[in-house]
Amino acid sequence: MLVEPLTLGITGVIALAVLVVIGMHVAYAGALIGLLGLVMSIGITRVPAGEGTLWDAFLAGFEPGIGIAGIVPFAELAHYSLSVLPMFILIGYMAFHARLTQGAFYSMRMWFGGFQGGLAIATVFATAAFAAVSGASTATAAVFSRIAIPEMLRYGYKPGFAAGVVAAGGTLASLIPPSGILVIYAIIVEESVGRLLLAGFIPGIVSAIIYAFSIWIRVKLKPELAGPTVSADWATKIKSLGQMWGIIAVVCIIMGGVYTGWMTPTESGAVGAFVIFCLALSHGMTWKQFLHGLTESARTAVMIITIIWGILILVRFLGFSQLPSEIEGLVVGLDMNRYWILLIILLMYAVLGMFMDAIGMLLLTLPLVQPVILSLGFDAIWFGIIVVKMVEICLITPPIGLNCFVVAGVRPDIPLLDIFKGIWWFFVCDVLTVALFVAFPGIVLWLPNQMFNG
């Protein structure tokens, strides 16, 4: 045999890493390496042992390799479950025009403004609420940079602290349904979209509570970070909840529909998008804004699907090379506690997240990591939430820290260095939250298990 399949797989992974590092888009890099790998994998099996060259193998495998690469994207993506993705993206764009951000921030401010650091706490819970209709971390960070930061600065909050709160709070959209990242994870590992969406709900709320509690502690320790409290009476607090009814309605539709089984995730997403659309119309959304929302939703969905089909071709090549099964056997054979192996995998994600976007990172790593996780006895749904939580950490970790750059873009008056200084406390909180979910997996699995056992 000219080249061992395993050697070909390792070479392909190295070549892929090089292409991504030099700037090629991950979708095209994955498709190119996957296509060439399929051609060569098939070709070397058709060339008699000890005869021919690599070029002969290429020619022998060209036609069947091209055929497989052409079939894979449609065969893998022509699934009903994938249609949930554009629905969730559309909800996020319509939510902005429905002015749900202002209502969420006002209501949370009335409820939590009386605490020390109350405006920062209100911002965290408002971003969590908006995450329930957005699903996009960067969009959440951008919107609240315009709404919450000016209010906090007006009350004397330190700029870096205020910006850090918004950058960290925006990450909650990665975990709280409707989360596009969770849908992508489900598609890659062929798990239930409904179970993953339900699994993200409680961890998302827990993350928000930990953020809020940490803000309270930090302001207690350093009162100069925040300004005076802004209290409201009970009548005002209760009345302010009326500003939240749109968000509550969408949450009930998506979570309730999936939990009870009355609707599929796609159907609940479609109904949720219609509700948000009606709200946006009632708040004066113009025809031009509506078309812009549809166009941007379609553009984003196509971008994500393009990345997926490119990586799926790569995954088929890796299957031919047997590289995932070889890595699985190697890791399982290690004389090491499975939690140490899990820690190594999570550290790998922490490092990769400093240099790659979330979707590309998941698509490139999960085909190799997921078989190892399953062979170690970990639950795939639980690991999905852990990985997405790592994605949240990467969104605020330098040098990429995409949410920090988004906030800096909206608020150029706040230096990027100050924003990174403002998020270190939340980084510690995220690490502790991951440890909590690892120690107590029931936090993640209780709700989806209730759905399927009830």
DSSP per-residue string spanning 142-181: HHHHHHHHHHHHHTT--HHHHHHHHHHHHGGGGTSSS-HH
pLDDT of residue 2: 59
Q: What is the mean pLDDT of the chain?
A: 82
Given a contact cutoff of 8 angstroms between Cβ atoms, the answer to whether 104 and 240 are in contact is no
**Banded model confidence at residue 386, pLDDT cuts 50, 70, 90:** very high
Q: Is 58 left (phi over 0), alpha (psi -120 to 50) or beta?
A: alpha
CA 388 distance to own-chain centroid: 5
Spatial separation of the C-alpha atoms in residues 94 and 133, rounded to whole Å: 9
**Banded model confidence at residue 439, pLDDT cuts 50, 70, 90:** very high
Q: Kindly state the tokens that stand for 400.
A: 């990429």
* 3-class DSSP assignment, residue 95: helix
**Identity of the residue numbered 75:** A
Given a contact cutoff of 8 angstroms between Cβ atoms, the answer to whether 182 and 84 are in contact is no
Give yes or no for residue 7 having a pLDDT over 90. Answer: no
Spatial separation of the C-alpha atoms in residues 385 and 365, rounded to whole Å: 15
Give yes or no for residue 453 having a pLDDT over 50. Answer: no
Cα end-to-end distance, the chain, whole Å? 54
pLDDT of residue 78: 67
**Identity of the residue numbered 398:** P
| Mean pLDDT to the nearest integer, 76-83 | 67
pLDDT of residue 240: 85
CA 372 distance to own-chain centroid: 21
Residue 362 sits at φ, ψ, to 5 deg, of -65, -45
Share of the chain above pLDDT 90, in %: 12
**Banded model confidence at residue 443, pLDDT cuts 50, 70, 90:** very high
Spatial separation of the C-alpha atoms in residues 264 and 259, rounded to whole Å: 9
pLDDT 10s digits, 29-59: 888 988 888 888 888 777 766 666 777 777 7
Highest mean pLDDT: which of 101-105, 151-155, 447-451? 151-155
In this predicted structure, which of 36-45, 173-182, 252-261, 422-431 has the lowest mean pLDDT?
252-261
Neighbours of 344 (CB within 10 A): 12
pLDDT 10s digits, 124-168: 998 888 887 776 777 788 888 888 888 888 888 999 999 999 999
Q: Which residues contact 267 (CB under 8 A, 6 or more apart)?
A: 257
SS (H, E, C) 351-388: HHCCCCCHHHHHHHHHHHHHHHHHHCCCCHHHHHHHHH
Give yes or no for residue 302 having a pLDDT over 70. Answer: yes
pLDDT of residue 454: 40
Given a contact cutoff of 8 angstroms between Cβ atoms, the answer to whether 419 and 168 are in contact is no
Cα–Cα nearest to 132, from 237, 216, 299, 256: 256
Cα–Cα nearest to 91, from 297, 237, 312: 297
pLDDT of residue 214: 93
In this predicted structure, which of 36-50, 74-88, 279-293 has the lowest mean pLDDT?
74-88
Give me the count of residues in the chain: 454
Cα–Cα nearest to 203, from 387, 385, 380: 385
pLDDT of residue 328: 67
Given a contact cutoff of 8 angstroms between Cβ atoms, the answer to whether 216 and 121 are in contact is yes
Measured CA to CA in angstroms, residue 136 lies from 85, 103, 239, 443 at distances of 12, 18, 28, 23
For the entire predicted model, the pTM comes to 0.79
Cα–Cα nearest to 153, from 120, 178, 184: 120
Place of tokens 């709280």: 176
pLDDT of residue 322: 75
Spatial separation of the C-alpha atoms in residues 398 and 376, rounded to whole Å: 31
**Banded model confidence at residue 19, pLDDT cuts 50, 70, 90:** confident
**Banded model confidence at residue 24, pLDDT cuts 50, 70, 90:** confident
**Banded model confidence at residue 385, pLDDT cuts 50, 70, 90:** very high
Return the DSSP state at 226: S
pLDDT of residue 6: 77
Q: Kindly state the tokens that stand for 190.
A: 């062929």
* 3-class DSSP assignment, residue 263: coil
